[in-house]
């Protein structure tokens, strides 16, 4: 039974998202794609999942606005502004970096969000969000503060739910979940933390590999473990034991990857999926490596990132379509 069922949700996405074999990419049928690029809400991708729980929590607490933030290219920030608009909440987005442009910020503005400079580095934007929420409270507002990426115990419920969802789908495909490897890109850590909480609640010890793109893995490991425990506590379920997931460190590699369109090109020309250089390509590379080494079923979580994927199309000549 799904451990998130007692928590309120504000419906945004279309679930379950498809899980299918990537037959045009790997004929042996053991590479699977979990299509969170198809959650169907805005440009949210995987972030529709935490937003359903976060918006419901904000409404249940009687808040009248949300305050969030992140880098200018934050998919979460744009999707959060869109979700808040639909939920009837005002939204303020604090941007660590140039707030002038980027598709997610354009989306936030189109959803009536107030987009302001955070005047700090992305690594400490969560503190700025808290400070701004307190300031707004002293002015009589009822703000709901959401750290970047929606990385709270409530936000993590989204991927706790996703763990139950993909397990059911693997069962339906007659794939033993305990033999599967799940590959997830990791930014704020909300998705991986929730996934581990959901896995522990099911008592499922599958191999989970996080591809950490923004923080060094040592730092990320502790953060995910803490968040995962908080999510388990919220669900009233058993917590994941330490060491139940592994992290591959890809922090700081996105610039290097911009010149290398190999994985993006392959996915585009076989499965018709557009990968972004920040999350999609590193996760793809790790999944392909794992798949090549042990031949067990690998589930690559395709999380979305369409705005950056479209930008990436213009980056490298090597991406021009062509059949070898
Ligand atoms: C497209 C995409 N994939 C993966 C992630 C990483 O998810 P998380 O922040 O939950 O680690 C994000 C985060 O915003 C994202 O936008």
109-132 residue pLDDT tens: 999 999 999 999 888 999 999 999
65 shares its domain with 176: no
Q: What is this structure's pTM?
A: 0.95
Cβ atoms of 195 and 208 within 8 Å: the answer is yes
Q: C-alpha distances in angstroms, 225 versus 188, 193, 232, 312?
A: 12, 7, 11, 32
Q: Please list the active-site residues.
A: 74
What is the span of the domain harbouring residue 275?
19-43+152-319
Tokens of 25: 């990419």
Tally of domains within the chain: 2
Q: Contact at 8 Å (CB) between 91 and 108?
A: yes
Tell me how far apart the alpha carbons of residues 115 and 39 are, in angstroms, rounded to a whole number.
25
Write the pLDDT tens digit of every residue in 64-114. Answer: 999 999 999 999 999 999 999 999 999 999 999 987 879 999 999 999 999
Q: Please check whether residues 168 and 301 belong to one and the same domain.
A: yes
* 13 belongs to a structural domain: no
Six-digit token pair at 219?
């730092």
Does 218 lie in the same domain as 270? yes
Question: 125, 277, 305, 309: which to mutate for ligand 1, most atoms within 8 A of CB?
Answer: 305
| pLDDT for 241 | 82
Residue 324 lies in a domain: no
Centroid of ligand 1 to alpha carbon of 189 (angstroms):
8
Q: Answer yes or no: is 10 within a domain.
A: no
Boundary residue ending a domain (114, 133, 150): 150
Ligand 1 center to residue 13 CA distance, Å? 16
Pocket test for ligand 1, best of 103, 191, 275, 302 (most atoms within 8 A of CB): 191
């Amino acid at each position: 039974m799904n451990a998130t069922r007692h928590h309120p949700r504000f419906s945004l996405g279309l679930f379950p998202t498809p899980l299918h074999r990537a037959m045009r990419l790997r004929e042996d049928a053991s590479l699977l794609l979990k299509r969170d690029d198809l959650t169907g809400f805005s440009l949210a991708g995987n972030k529709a999942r935490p937003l359903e729980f976060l918006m419901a929590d904000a409404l249940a607490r009687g808040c009248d606005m949300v305050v969030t933030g992140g880098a200018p290219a934050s998919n979460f920030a744009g999707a959060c502004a869109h979700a808040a608009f639909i939920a009837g909440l005002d939204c303020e987005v604090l941007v660590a970096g140039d707030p002038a442009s980027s598709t997610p910020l354009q989306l936030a503005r189109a959803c009536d969000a107030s987009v302001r400079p955070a005047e700090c580095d992305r690594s400490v934007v969560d503190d700025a969000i808290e400070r701004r929420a307190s300031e707004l409270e002293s002015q009589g507002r009822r703000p709901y503060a959401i750290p970047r990426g929606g990385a709270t115990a409530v936000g993590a419920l989204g991927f706790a739910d996703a763990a139950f969802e993909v397990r059911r789908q693997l069962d339906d495909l007659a794939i033993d979940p305990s033999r599967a490897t799940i590959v997830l890109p990791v930014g704020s850590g909300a998705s991986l933390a929730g996934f581990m909480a959901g896995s522990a609640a099911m008592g499922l010890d599958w191999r989970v590999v996080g591809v950490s793109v923004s923080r060094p893995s040592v730092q990320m490991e502790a953060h995910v473990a803490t968040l995962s425990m908080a999510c388990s506590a919220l669900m009233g379920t058993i917590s994941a034991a330490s060491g139940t997931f592994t992290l591959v460190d890809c922090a700081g590699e996105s610039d290097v990857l911009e010149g290398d369109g190999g994985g993006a090109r392959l996915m585009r020309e076989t499965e018709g999926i557009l990968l972004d250089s920040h999350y999609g390509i590193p996760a793809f590379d790790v999944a392909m490596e794992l798949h090549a080494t042990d031949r067990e079923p690998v589930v690559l979580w395709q999380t979305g990132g369409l705005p950056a994927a479209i930008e990436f199309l213009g980056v490298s000549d090597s991406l021009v379509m062509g059949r070898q």
